[in-house]
Amino acid sequence: MLLLNAFRGFCMALADSVPGVSGGTIAFLLGFYDKFIFALNSLVSGSKDEKKQALKFLIKLGSGWIIGFLSAMLILSEIFESHIYVVSALFFGLTLFAIPMVIYEERKSMKGHIGCIAFTIIGIAIVIGISTLSSKLGGGGITFEGFNIGIILFTFLAGMIAISAMVLPGISGSTILLAFGIYVPTTTAISSILKMESFEALPYICALALGILTGVIVIIKTVNRALLKYRPQSMYTIIGLMIGSLYAITQGPTTIDTADGIALEPLSFSHVAGDPILIIPFIAGGVVLALLELLRFVMEKKEKNS
C-alpha cells in the first residue's frame, strides 16, 4: 500500500500545484477522499490510536505529495509565464470536465435537495468575489521582493484560505492563490529556492506555510463535520466553487507581469478562435480526468481482490 498511497499523493500534488482541479478532487475521483479527510481530522483531534493510524497513512500519502509538488515547482514557473494561455486552457478543461464527474459521484447525496442550489450560487460568488477583490488590490502586481509586512500578512491569509480549498473536492488551492495574485510569485520563489538561486522570498514562503498549517488546524474539523452532517449543502457549495474557479482561471493571464509592463488579457473564446491549438490542452484536461477515473476503477478492483 506504500506505493499506492505515494502515487495517490503524487497525483494530488500535481493537482494542488496548478490552478484548476484541487487535490481533494483527485482524492475524490480516486476513491480515498473520505479516508483522507478522516485522517486529517484524526491527526488534529483523534484518539492516540487514531492519530497513530492517521499519521501512518498521511506519511505514505505525503511522501508522494512532496515528490510531486517539488517536481511541479521546478518547471511550473517557467511554463506558466511563457505559455500562460495554453496552461490556462488546460486548467479550464480540467475544471470544466471535473464538474459533471463530481455531480455524478455525489448524485445520491444531492438528489432531492434542489433547494440547496442557493449554496452553489454562494460558492460561485465567493470565488468571483476573491478574484475581483484581488484585482482591485492590485493582486497582479504583487511581488515577493524586500520585506513588506503587509504582503506577508496577505500571503499568510491566502495560505489559510488556499488549504481550505485544497482539502475540498472542488476549487484548487492554487486557484485561490491565483485569485489573490500570488500564484506566480509563489511558484517562482519556490523554484528559485529549490535551485539555490535566491532566498529573498523565503519570509513570504514561510508565511504561506504557516498560513497553510493554521488553516488545516482551524478548518479541517469544520470540513469533516460539514461533509458528515450537511453533505448535500456541502456538495452544492463545492460545485459552486468549481464553477466560480472557471472565472478565476480565465483571469490567470492578468496576474502575469510582462517585461514591457503591458497587462495580458483574460483567456476568452477569442483567444481560442485566434489560436485553435488552444483546444488541444482544453481537451487534454478531460482526457487526464478520464484516465484518473480508469485508474480508480483498476485500483478498486485490485483492493477487492487482495
Residues 6 or more apart from 174 whose CB is under 8 A from it? Answer: 16, 17, 18, 19, 20, 162, 183
Q: 73 versus 192: which is more confidently predicted?
A: 192
- What is the separation of C-alpha 121 from the centre of its chain, rounded to a whole number of angstroms? 20
Q: Give CA separation, 151 vs 70, 128, 145, in Å.
A: 24, 21, 10
Helix (H, G, I), strand (E, B) or coil at 22: coil
Q: What is the pLDDT of residue 105?
A: 83
Treating both helix axes as pointing N-terminal to C-terminal, what angle do 117-136 and 231-250 enclose, rounded to 10 degrees?
A: 30
Please give the grid coordinates belonging to residue 31. Answer: 476513491
Q: Is 4 exposed, middle or buried (0-12, 13-18, 19+ CB in 10 A)?
A: middle
Q: Report which residue type is found at 128.
A: I
Query: In the predicted model, what is the mean pLDDT of residues 145-172?
Result: 81
Identify the weakest region by mean pLDDT among 74-78, 125-129, 192-196, 208-212: 74-78
Q: What is the mean pLDDT of residues 212-222?
A: 82
Residue 171 phi, psi (nearest 5):
-70, 140
Provide CB contacts within 8 A for 6, sequence distance 6+: 60, 61, 63, 64, 67
DSSP state of 145: -
Please tell me which residue, 21 or 220, carries the higher pLDDT value.
220
Rounded CA separation 116/119 (Å) = 5
Q: DSSP state, 139?
A: G
So what's the pLDDT on residue 202?
A: 92
pLDDT reading at 197 higher than 80: yes
- Which element (helix H / strand E) includes 263? none
* Closest alpha carbon to 32 in 61, 55, 59: 61
d(CA 285, CA 89): 8
pLDDT at 16: 76
Which residue stretches of the chain are H helix? Answer: 2-17, 23-29, 33-45, 48-82, 84-105, 107-110, 117-136, 149-166, 173-180, 183-194, 202-229, 231-250, 269-274, 279-305
Rounded to whole angstroms, the Cα distance separating 296 from 29 reads: 7
Q: Which of 86-95, 112-121, 134-143 has the lowest mean pLDDT?
A: 134-143
Confidence of residue 76 (pLDDT cuts 50, 70, 90): low
Cα 173 from chain centre: 3
Tell me the whole-structure pTM to 2 decimals: 0.73
